[in-house]
Amino acid sequence: MRFARRGPLDDGRITAPGAPPRLYALDGFRLVAALLVVFYHYLALKGGWGHSPKTIFPTLHKYAQYGWVGVEIFFLISGFVICMSTWGRTLGDFVISRASRLYPGYWAAVLITAGVIITWPQVRQVHDLDVVLTNLTMLQQGLGVWDVDGVYWTLFTELKFYLLFAVVVAMGVTYRRCVLFCGVWTVAAVIAPSVNNKLLTTWAMPLFAPYFVAGIAFYLMYRYRPTAVLWGIVGISFLLADHHMIKRVKDNVDPGAPYWPARLMVLVAFVIMAMMANGWFNRIQWRWLTTAGALTYPLYLLHQYIGLTIIYALRDRVPAPLLVAGLVVVMLGAAWLMQRYIEVPLGKKLRTALKKGMAEIRLHTPAPRSAEHSGRERPAAEDRTPAQPHPYEPVAATVPAAPPVAAPAQTTAPAPDWFGQRS
């Protein structure tokens, strides 16, 4: 099934009657990626076990030590989802959407995790309250402050992707601009390691850019149709990802472990995304997958050091396989509670507040405080200097001293502000 009407490009746009339907399979794939990371932390890291889990799970450890590839899958999916969610939206919409989606659950996770590891510091310790407060910004890596939980480094990578793609959103997301963005970012990611420029490397993100770029290309395939250009972007991105996978394996698995399992997992992830982009999974309409996808983010935020602390406390009382299985169920339950009672209600309130703030920016000035709130007595009307009417204050009708002169007709539309809205 195709969702775009075949037609010429018009200012970078391919005419389309509407966005394609929801991909329920993509929600399920997100949860699979999260569980890969969970099992990597519980079955492959020393963490709360006190020694290598290889002696506890000799067979499972061989596979679980590659579970960090779930992070790469997250980035691949993120490129797809962000391109999809920004289509037809303004920069203000994008900022509100991302902030209200990421921060409520993240704030809760930082405080809960900090409370756990301060109370039981056997696995992880917080030495300074400033670390916790700085983590609440999600910008701690840019300030050189360590993460309260080890998984938070990926969120800073996501934020950098959002900032880069915000350039496209500010101009207006179109087919042509997305393709251009993919090309420019790929070139920057390729040359960054050779020029040895820290600023370029920080923003080009050579290790992870191929996943975001491929995700964007896959969405363009899904929304419109596969083309040679899009397949070329995906192919180059896969080869670059495969090249960097060697370094990732060296950094994350036991010495001497083979590279091929991680490289195979990345290949499978690209194949699955290609199948989604070509509509192979459109018939999957299982509504429960939406719930599964909603659990992904809170599960990812909560599971690591809280889970490892629980493992430390129960490792000598509960059989290891039962402990891991039960812990995964508990973490899924905690993720559901966070999503239901923190993310959703707090996200709505934050979204409403941000929309109000953006509206005031578009009006160029916020509403004035009342005299009661400001603590200052409001001057009498006759003492006030005549001025232009405030946009929030109605002006009483007066009898004009002379016939009004018609204003010249406006020949051009008002210029859009930074948030893509008309003044």
pLDDT for residue 10 is more than 60:
no
Residue-wise pLDDT tens digits, 273-317? 999 999 999 988 888 999 999 999 999 999 999 999 999 999 999
CB proximity list for 38: less than 8 A, separation 6 or greater: 67, 299, 303, 307, 328, 331
d(CA 279, CA 4): 13
| Amino acid found at 196 | N
DSSP-assigned beta bridge partners for residue 173: none
DSSP-assigned beta bridge partners for residue 10: 13
Question: What does the pLDDT read at residue 21?
Answer: 67
Question: What does the pLDDT read at residue 363?
Answer: 74
d(CA 163, CA 260): 33
pLDDT (average), residues 46-62: 90
Q: Are 163 and 212 in contact (CB under 8 A)?
A: no
With bands split at pLDDT 50, 70 and 90, how would you rate the model's confidence at 127?
A: confident
DSSP labels, 30-80: HHHHHHHHHHHHHHTS-GGGSS-GGGTSTTHHHHHTTTTHHHHHHHHHHHH
pLDDT for residue 13 is more than 80:
no
d(CA 336, CA 181): 36
pLDDT for residue 418 is more than 60:
no
Rama region for 4: left / alpha / beta (φ>0; ψ in -120 to 50; rest): beta
CB proximity list for 357: less than 8 A, separation 6 or greater: none
Q: Copy the structure tokens of residue 410.
A: 């406006």
| Amino acid found at 147 | D
pLDDT (average), residues 99-116: 96
Q: pTM of the prediction?
A: 0.82
Enclosing H/E stretch for 241: helix 228-252
Rounded to the nearest 10 degrees, the angle between the axes of helix 91-119 and helix 153-171 is: 170
d(CA 221, CA 182): 14
Q: DSSP code of 142?
A: G
CB proximity list for 197: less than 8 A, separation 6 or greater: none
Per-chain mean pLDDT for the chain: 85
pLDDT (average), residues 342-371: 82
Q: Copy the structure tokens of residue 121.
A: 């510091």
Residue-wise pLDDT tens digits, 360-407? 777 766 666 664 554 444 444 434 344 443 333 333 334 444 444 444
Question: What does the pLDDT read at residue 379?
Answer: 43
Residue-wise pLDDT tens digits, 236-282? 999 999 999 999 999 999 888 899 999 999 999 999 999 999 999 99
Q: DSSP code of 407?
A: P
pLDDT for residue 422 is more than 50:
no
pLDDT (average), residues 352-361: 88
| Amino acid found at 311 | I
Question: What does the pLDDT read at residue 316?
Answer: 92
Q: Are 151 and 37 in contact (CB under 8 A)?
A: yes
Q: How far is CA 253 from CA 61, 216, 289, in A?
A: 10, 29, 31
Distance separating the N- and C-terminal Cα atoms of the chain: 40
Closest CA to 161 of 185, 184, 137, 133: 185
